[in-house]
Amino acid sequence: MAGLAVVAVVLLLPVLLVVLRRRYVVARVWGHSMSPTFHDGERVVATRRPHYRVGDVIVFRPGSATTDVAWRIKRIAAVAGDPVPAWLETDHLVVPAGRVVVVGDNTGHSADSRQLGYIDLTTVAGAVPHRAAPEGN
């Protein structure tokens, strides 16, 4: 009976790992663009969602292959159908379908939609659970 339990665990463990990887992503914060909410070197867990809202902090793959950062972490400023923020230089009046506009909490030190443009939702790994900025910041 114990042998059967070991075989079941050995067979089910890879399946469980695949399911968890499809649902959750662990990412490391690089730099100070999300300060004071998240800090350089901090690890966060993002959960995949079917929909994202303004204010969600998301983890996504940068569109450029020239970066050494595997994941970026930014806050959603606008979703598809929303008016394009005035600070984003574009010819569009509303955010296109399947895209979001992102910005860092520390805008003076953030490469976000001002440089990256719209973020395609297919590159989004998930949203980080809500965390308020520390008091006094």
Q: Which residue has the higher pLDDT, 4 or 34?
A: 34
Q: Is the pLDDT of residue 103 over 50?
A: yes
Q: Is the pLDDT of residue 68 over 60?
A: no
pLDDT, averaged across the chain: 84
How many C-beta atoms lie closer than 10 Å to residue 130's C-beta?
9
What are the tokens at 36?
Answer: 């004071």
In this prediction, residue 58 carries a pLDDT of 96
d(CA 113, CA 43): 22
What are the tokens at 123?
Answer: 């590159």
How many C-beta atoms lie closer than 10 Å to residue 69's C-beta?
14
Three-state DSSP class for residue 58:
strand
> pTM for the full model?
0.78
d(CA 98, CA 107): 24
Q: Is the pLDDT of residue 125 over 80?
A: yes
Q: Which residue has the higher pLDDT, 88 or 67?
A: 88
What are the tokens at 63?
Answer: 């569109």
d(CA 92, CA 117): 12
99 pLDDT tier (thresholds 50, 70, 90): very high
100 pLDDT tier (thresholds 50, 70, 90): very high
What are the tokens at 62?
Answer: 């940068």
Q: Which residue has the higher pLDDT, 16 or 135?
A: 16
